[in-house]
Structure 1
Amino acid sequence: MVIPVVVAVLALIAGLAANTYLRPRLLAEDDDSGMAVKDLVGPLLTLTVLLLAFVLVTAYGSYGKAEVAARGEARALDQLVETAEYADGKQRAAIQSDAACYARAVRVQEWPAMADGNGNGNGSKAPSVWSTDMRQNFRPLEGEPAFGMLVSADTKRSEERSERLTQATASIPSAIFWFLLAVLAVTVVSLGICLLRKHNRGQLIALSLITVLLTATLCIIRDVDRPFGGIVDVQPTAVSDVEKQATRDLRTHDKNAELPCDAAGNRVTQQTKG
């Protein structure tokens, strides 16, 4: 977000400089004449605002989908943990352990990997280790009522994770962002040239406010377009809650049960397969 601010400031300075040194050569008119404050909101400014508004809506749509996918994944994982209660003790413990470690790997490793918005949809490999383990632990339950529910919940979890990883990638191409930045700079410079050269305090204030608002909008677009990083981001709260719930359910049956993963979600023990 530093780049839009720097460009906007430089454009404002360039516009004011052009107003002082270039305008007298371009316009043969008295220094006291010029555009009124209301005239600053012309076709160019309207075009800029419309472009920024359209791109902001697009970026926010991607942000909303990312948040929905993250919550959907957590709900599916929670359903899987609860359904595991219908399995026998050995399989229940294995599935709930895998679910807790999966949630931990997502929270600790995959979330930071999605922060820059430049991912290719692969995310971290750590959660896949545990999702594979979960599916292997489903096999001994084939033919039992819990099997279908577990497979259904795991399928939903996989779909939501794929959607989350897809939305982690910036939806606004870099070319469009740089185009918007160029439009913003041209708009600010053009408005700066059109200012009155004398008695222009009101226009200077108006131009400064316009520059701040346009720059803030572009910064918000840049931030929202990276839903898992930045100031306005999707937090791993839901998946963290599932991690705690899975661990709690596991230790309800065995107080001394230990997860087969470390604090980052990496495997530390070899889990026994059923």
Structure 2
Amino acid sequence: MALVITVAVLALLAGLAANRWLRPRLISADDDEGMGVKDLVGPLLTMTVLLLSFVLVTANGSYGKAEVASRGEARALDQLVETAEYAPEAQRARIQADAVCYARAVSEQEWPAMADGKGSPAPSVWSTDFRRTFEDLAGQPVFGMLVAADNKRSDEREERLTQATASIPSAIFWFLLATLTITVMALATCLPRKNNRGQLITLAVITALLTTTLCIIRDVDRPFGGIISVEPTAIDEAERQAERDFAVNHPAEEVPCDEAGNRKRAV
């Protein structure tokens, strides 16, 4: 985002410098007229609409899918905890404890990693424990329900990690940035050299608008790392519910992980 703002400001300054020193050499007459405010708004309105279209597509795409996957994963984890109520006591305790640790690992370790488009191995430790516990329940009625809930959790996590990576290729982003630079410089060059206060204000507003639009595109394209980011609210709520159920059913036991979801002891 800082890069976009820096390049846009430099483009504006370069265009104004060209208007000051290059334009007199290209035009022999001492002209006081150039592209008017109306002429400036017209072509850039089209550019603004195109950029906003990218924002809408991205917002409805990557960001929306990331939020849906995050909530779906939390619901699947909550369903796994509730289904474990039908399992024998030993397996129930282990599944619910692992669910608490899984949620903590996702919230405290994987969520920050997704800001850079990466995942974390920490949640996989507890999802592996899920499957080991399921093996002890093979042949029992609850086995199929637990496996189905865990498969749903796994699919939603995979979708969440997929959406953490940028959906707009770097080439397209750099193309948009280059387009913004060329447009601002060209418009600034065409400004009249005198009596141009209105045109300068309009150009500055349009530059700010285009820059903000491109920053929004960049921000929304990283649903877990930008200003408008998906928060781990759903998985945190699933953790609280799993921890409450575990405490009710097994008040004398502790979950086998710390607050960050790291294992405290070997199992």
> Is the TM-score greater than 0.5?
yes
For 2:192, the aligned partner's letter is L
TM-score (norm 1): 0.93
For 2:258, the aligned partner's letter is D
Aligned to 1:168: 164
Aligned to 2:31: 31
Aligned to 2:204: 208
For 1:64, the aligned partner's letter is G
- Report deviation, 1:174: 1.5
**1:8-27 deviation per Cα after TM superposition (whole angstroms, max 9, x unaligned):** 11111111111111112223
Paired residue for 2:139, among 140, 143, 146?
A: 143
Counterparts of 2:174 and 2:249 in 1: how far apart (Å)? 57
Is structure 2 residue 179 aligned with structure 1 residue 183?
yes
Counterparts of 1:124 and 1:108 in 2: how far apart (Å)? 10
Counterparts of 1:209 and 1:110 in 2: how far apart (Å)? 39
Aligned to 1:252: 248
Q: Contact conserved, 1:48 with 1:183, CA < 8 A, in 2?
A: no
Counterparts of 2:94 and 2:16 in 1: how far apart (Å)? 68
Number of aligned positions between the proteins? 266
**1:63-90 deviation per Cα after TM superposition (whole angstroms, max 9, x unaligned):** 1111111110010000000111111211
Aligned to 1:72: 72
5 Å matches for 1:33-72?
A: 33-43=33-43, 45-46=44-45, 48-60=47-59, 61-72=61-72
Percent of residue pairs identical: 68
Counterparts of 1:80 and 1:212 in 2: how far apart (Å)? 49
For 1:229, the aligned partner's letter is G
Aligned to 2:149: 153
Q: Contact conserved, 1:51 with 1:180, CA < 8 A, in 2?
A: no
- Report deviation, 1:29: 4.3
Q: Contact conserved, 1:48 with 1:187, CA < 8 A, in 2?
A: no
5 Å matches for 1:235-250?
A: 235-250=231-246
**1:145-189 deviation per Cα after TM superposition (whole angstroms, max 9, x unaligned):** 221111111000000001001000011111211111111011111
For 2:52, the aligned partner's letter is A
3-state SS of paired residue (2:136): helix
Query: 133-142 or 60-69: which moved more?
Result: 133-142
Q: Contact conserved, 1:103 with 1:242, CA < 8 A, in 2?
A: yes
- Report deviation, 1:46: 4.7
- Report deviation, 1:55: 2.6
Q: Contact conserved, 1:36 with 1:203, CA < 8 A, in 2?
A: yes
For 1:131, the aligned partner's letter is S
TM-score (norm 2): 0.95
Unmatched 5+ stretches in structure 1: none
Q: Contact conserved, 1:66 with 1:234, CA < 8 A, in 2?
A: yes
Counterparts of 1:97 and 1:84 in 2: how far apart (Å)? 11
For 2:130, the aligned partner's letter is M
Is structure 2 residue 77 aligned with structure 1 residue 107?
no
- Report deviation, 1:131: 0.5
For 2:191, the aligned partner's letter is L
Counterparts of 2:29 and 2:94 in 1: how far apart (Å)? 83
- Report deviation, 1:133: 0.5
For 1:37, the aligned partner's letter is V
